[in-house]
Amino acid sequence: MALKLALVGYGKMGQAIEAEAVARGHHVVARIRSSDEWNLADADVVIEFTQPESAVANLTRLAERGKPVICGTTGWFQDLPGVEAAFLHAHNRLIYASNFSLGVQLAFQLNRQMAELLAPYRDQYRPSIEEIHHTAKKDAPSGTALSFAEGLLPYFPELKGWSLDGTQPGTLPITARREDPVPGTHTVRYESEIDRIELTHVAHNRRGFALGAVLAAERIAACTPGAHHFAQILF
């Protein structure tokens, strides 16, 4: 069934989402930038890709408007309990993720399996994560890198969380690099004195992220009220 979509945030990602949505037979009925009025009356689903500092206010406002929401903005997940409460109170539905790429979601699953396999040998292998993004990306490390860390850390209990560039001893080092025009590259690395094991996901363009957001929009009607991670929908 063709959907009527409203895009809150219409930068490069919003434009990529529109292209994927139209290719799948959907219609974009609103393109909302930061200074625009929110005319959502004709929309079936809202897709929000904005900035970390505005995401929570946007999502709270969207919850009250009663339109199901797909959120691909990162850097706000510490406020997820409050956002979820707002959607439950409004009897509304939200699908969120640090990354809507199907390939990245599969890599998250592989990351957990690899960490579990290496856990018995953690006295030999030192884990680390590296992410590379375009210079317009504001949050560092990326939400995707933090998701990789969340999948790894339970299997390495001696690591007390993560730190940027490993500045805090006893933590998982995450390196964040900003280089144009990189859409997103993430590497989970295990280093020993004799070898190195790596899991790397390289995004060639924004299409994978955009397609995942549209797939989530197509499936959100089947969700119960509240907040749902994209992985729950896929797997």
Show me where the domains of the chain are located.
4-96+207-234, 102-203
**Span 12-69, pLDDT tens digits:** 999 999 999 999 999 999 999 887 889 999 999 999 999 999 999 999 999 999 999 9
Please state the φ and ψ torsions of residue 8, each to the nearest 5 degrees. -95, 105
Report the alpha-carbon distance of residue 125 to residue 106 in Å, rounded. 23
Residue 4 designated active-site: no
Residue 25 per-residue DSSP state: T
Q: What CATH number does the domain located at 4-96+207-234 have?
A: 3.40.50.720
Q: Which amino acid is at 187?
A: T
pTM of the shown model:
0.86
Cα distance between the two ends of the chain: 22
- Is 26 a residue of the active site? no
Cα gap 234→99, rounded to integer Å: 13
pLDDT digits (tens, 9 = 90+) for 8-28: 999 999 999 999 999 999 999
Catalytic residue among 12, 27, 89, 137: 137
Report helix, strand or coil for 82. Answer: helix
- Please identify which of the residues 27, 67, 89, 133 carries the catalytic annotation: 133
Please answer whether residues 72 and 211 qualify as being in contact, where contact means their C-beta atoms are separated by less than 8 angstroms.
no
**Domain 102-203 homologous superfamily, CATH:** Dihydrodipicolinate Reductase; domain 2 (3.30.360.10)
DSSP one-letter code for 224? P
